[in-house]
Structure 1
Amino acid sequence: MPYRAEKPGTRPSSEELRARIPGWGADLDPKDRPAVPRERFDPGASGAHWDFPERQPEKWPRERSIEHQQLTPAFGTSAPPKLLSGAMRKYAYRRFSEGRAAHWLILLAADRVDAWESHLRSFASLRPDNPVTESGVFGEIGSKAFSSRFGRNRADVKHQWLDPVIVAGPWLLAGGAAAVVALRVLAKSRK
């Protein structure tokens, strides 16, 4: 039925619906519904032994939406906000409602910044990130590499030429930028 500006016709009665649709209204009589005892509001029958659970302690000020006055009783603590990405997350929660696109876009950008912060932190460790092995590119090389890639209507074949650019491109750009900075520092130190 197409949408029209005028109000639709009268609503059919229960008897008309029952005559037109087989089985309509089968659950109108409470005696025919097995879930009726559970539909009654009886707070004493829930079995809950508390009114509100005890709250998890906040070890640092947590991000909370501006729509809510308090945190939920339990919350995650595995990834505390840190550095620039943490500041971005705190800003998104402090400034924008969860119904605004800006809130979520800032959180997405903070995730990307957090990934780069982790990459940079890995250079300070004894085991820096290896983008080639972590991308899974060696999983594509091996037995049946060509036959599994072509002739199977795989959707990723259309953009596979972009994969090396996306994986290695940022690393090459960062290495090039570091080389330019090093060359400029050397040139200034020779003067």
Structure 2
Amino acid sequence: MVEIPTPYTAGKLALKESAEDLRARIPGWGADLDPMDRPSYPREQPGIETGAHWDFPERQEAKWPRERSIEHAFMTPVFGTSTPPRGASGAIRKYAYKYSEGRATHWLLLIAADRVDAWEHHLSSFATLRPDNPVTETGVLSELSRRGISSRFGKKRADLSHQWIDPVIVGAPWALAAGGVAAATLKTLRKRRVA
């Protein structure tokens, strides 16, 4: 088997540069080299068993093409399979992995994909017998029935600073969607009256 220098191997990886070169190039590098400053040092001694019963863990079988960070040479040995990418949100997620995890573009695309995924599920719920109900599912009724409003005054709650924007983030998309449906319905009714 070819030696693969990854964090998934049982052995310890060797440095690509010497400690002296790194210390000269990076200010503060090696600040934790003193064994007395590191609680994990005794476990890092040569000859101490790690407990791993493998040189490289058994790889999980991929049943469809998975997203993989460009920082990694291959997929991690184990990965999630509960929600395969699908629809527009899946396409956005796949596109996000063309960028490094160190770039904001990668993470912003993943956040956008989550929002698109939520709306895909909201829209698909209307094709079922029990569509989403934004009034009961957002918990807005509990603000009136479970001391929601009184709990906000005179308390040191962490969410008070952003509570003003919560109705906009949660309610505005539903209000815009309802307005769009109402406008489309009115336009259809006007066309029928003219015809």
Question: TM-score, structure 1 length as denominator?
Answer: 0.70
Q: Which residue pairs with 1:55 in the alignment?
A: 59
Q: Which amino acid aligns with 1:126?
A: L
Alignment of 1:31-70 (within 5 A): 38-42=43-47, 45-70=49-74
Q: Which residue pairs with 2:10 in the alignment?
A: none
Alignment of 1:12-161 (within 5 A): 27=36, 38-42=43-47, 45-93=49-97, 95-142=98-145, 144-145=147-148, 147-154=150-157, 156-157=159-160, 160=163
Q: Distance in 2 between matches of 1:179 and 1:161?
A: 27
Change (3 A) 1:99 1:27: closer
Q: Which amino acid aligns with 2:139?
A: G
Number of matched residues?
161
Q: Which amino acid aligns with 1:72?
A: T
How far did residue 69 of structure 1 move? 1.7
Cα displacement string for residues 153-177 of structure 1 (whole angstroms, at most 9, x for unaligned residues): 4454565454444433221211111
Cα displacement string for residues 32-68 of structure 1 (whole angstroms, at most 9, x for unaligned residues): xx9876332237x333221111111111000001121
User: 1:169 and 2:172 equivalent?
Assistant: yes
Change (3 A) 1:179 1:36: closer
Q: Distance in 1 between matches of 2:40 and 2:145?
A: 57
Q: Distance in 1 between matches of 2:41 and 2:166?
A: 57
Higher gyration radius (CA) = 1
Q: Which amino acid aligns with 2:61?
A: P
Change (3 A) 1:42 1:109: same
Cα displacement string for residues 134-186 of structure 1 (whole angstroms, at most 9, x for unaligned residues): 22223322365554232224454565454444433221211111222233344
Q: Distance in 1 between matches of 2:147 and 2:94?
A: 48
Q: Distance in 2 between matches of 1:35 and 1:188?
A: 75
Question: TM-score, structure 2 length as denominator?
Answer: 0.68
Change (3 A) 1:187 1:154: same
Structure with the higher fraction of residues in helix conformation: 1
> Highest relative contact order (Cα 8 Å, sep 6+), 1 or 2?
2
Q: Which amino acid aligns with 2:65?
A: P
Q: Distance in 1 between matches of 2:35 and 2:69?
A: 44
Cα RMSD between the aligned structures? 3.1
* Stretches of structure 1 lacking an aligned partner (at least 5 in a row): 1-24, 29-33
Q: Is the 8 A contact 2:89 2:117 kept in 1?
A: yes
Partner SS, residue 141 of structure 1: helix
Percent of paired sites with the same residue: 62
Partner SS, residue 99 of structure 1: coil
Q: Distance in 1 between matches of 2:76 and 2:154?
A: 51
* Stretches of structure 2 lacking an aligned partner (at least 5 in a row): 1-33
